[in-house]
A and B are shown apart, each in its own frame.
Chain A
C-alpha cells in the first residue's frame, strides 16, 4: 500500500484523516491514562509503584514523543481547517442551529481548553511546580495534596468534561472520516466512561474516600 501523502494531505478529507488518526492515538492514551489512574484506589504504594513501573519498562519518553507529535499534527490540521471554514462559511443576519450537537459545535474551543489544561496538568503533576506537595515520585501524596482544594477539583472537572464532549463527537466523527460509520451512541458511551473514570479520583480525594 502506497500512500500518496502530500496529495492526500492537500485535500480537506486528508487533513481530517490526519486528525482522525492522531485523535485515535490520543484517545487510546487517554483511556490508558484513565485506567492507570484507578491505581489510586489500591492505596498509596500501588500508585507510586505503578509510576515507577512505567519508568522501569521505558515507555515514558517514547510515549511522550509520540503524544507530542500527535498533538502537533492534530493542532496544525485543525488550525488549517478552521481557517478554511472561516473563509468559506456565510455570515447570516439570522442564524439558527438546527441539529448539530453541543459537542460538535464546541470541538474547536473545547480543544483549546483541553490543550491549556494539559499545560497546567503537566506543571502540576509531572513537573510538580504548581503542586501543593510537589515531591517527585510521590505521586499519591501529590494527588491527595491537589484535590484538598475545591478550585483544583473544579479545574480538573471542567477540563475532564471538555474532554468528554471532545471525545463524544471526536470518536464518532473520526470513524465517519475514515469511512467506517458507527452509531453516535458509541461516542457518547466512551465519553461517559472516560469522564467517570477520570473524575472518580479528584472526587474520591475531595470527599475523603482516598487519603
Chain B
C-alpha cells in the first residue's frame, strides 16, 4: 500500500510541511506504525526521525494524537491515531499530518506538543480531598447506577487533547467538563463540587484557552465519545458556584 505523508517538521520557532512518499505499507498497520516505517527509513538515511508522542498504542493512554487531513486522530470515529489502521485510507492517498494547534499547546518538536496545560487544569481542582489511608470497601458509599454511568462516561477521558485541537475557539471545555463531571456526579466528589468547577474553569481561562461556543466540533473528534452534555453539567455547576454563598 502506498501513501504520501505531508508531515509538519519543526525544531525551532517555525516549521514546514515535508512530503514523504511511503510505498511499503500494509493496510493492517496502524497510523503510528506507518510513522515508525518512515522513521526507520529516515534513521538509516542519517536524517532526523519525525518526533511524535505515543505510549500504550492500544487507545487508552492519551499520549498519541495528530491532525490527519485536518481531523483530530484521523477520519475514523472514536478512534485514537494508534488504533487507526491504514485500511481506512485509499491506496495512494496524500495525507497532511500536523500537530495539535492551540495557543496553550506549544509545539515542542514536529508532531509533539506540550499538553501540560491539561495537568494544570486538573491540579486546580480535578481531585477529591480525602484522608489517604487504606482503601475503603467498594460498597461503603452507595452510588446510584445512573450517576455511576454518567461519571464513568466522563471518566473515560484520556486527556489526549483532540477536543482542543478540533475546537474553532481553541477551548478545552470538553476536557475540563469531563474532569470536573466524573467527580462532581459522585458522592465522594460532592464536598468540592462547586469550588472544583470554579477553580478548574478559572485555570482553564488563565491558561489562555478560548471560550466554548457549543459549536460541537470536539465531540466527534473525541476518541472516547464524551458527550456535549458534559459541558452543560460543568456550566450548571460553575453558575451555581458563583450564585450561592456556600462553598466559597
Residues of A within 8 A of B (CB): 1-5, 7-8, 10-17, 81, 84-85, 87-101, 104-105, 107, 169, 172-173, 175-181
Contacts and interface: CB of A to CB of B under 8 A. Distances in A.
Greatest chain A CB density within 10 A among B17, B166, B201, B210 is at B210
Nearest to B204: A12
Contact of B215 (A87, A94, A105): A105
A55 B243 CA distance: 37
B70 A95 contact: yes
A89 B172 CA distance: 10
A92 B221 contact: no
Contacts, number: 156
17 contacts: A2-B245, A12-B171, A12-B173, A12-B210, A81-B210, A85-B170, A88-B208, A89-B170, A90-B102, A90-B165, A94-B98, A98-B166, A99-B216, A100-B168, A100-B217, A177-B235, A179-B233
A1 B242 CA distance: 10
A107 B168 CA distance: 12
Given A3-B242, A98-B220, A11 B101 contact: no
Contacts of A93: 8, 17, 96, 98
B67 A94 contact: yes
Given A12-B205, A96-B70, A179 B239 contact: yes
Given A17-B235, A175-B232, 7 more contacts: A12-B212, A85-B211, A87-B103, A92-B101, A93-B17, A173-B213, A176-B228
A15 B219 CA distance: 22
A96 B238 contact: no
Interface string B25-65: 00000000000000000000000000000000000000000
A175 B214 CA distance: 10
B118 interface: no
B235 A104 contact: no
Contacts of A99: 216-217, 219-220
B69 A96 contact: yes
B69 A94 contact: yes
B175 interface: no
B229 A181 contact: yes
A17 B239 contact: yes
Contact of A8 (B71, B103, B213, B239): B239
Interface in B80-104: 96, 98, 100-104
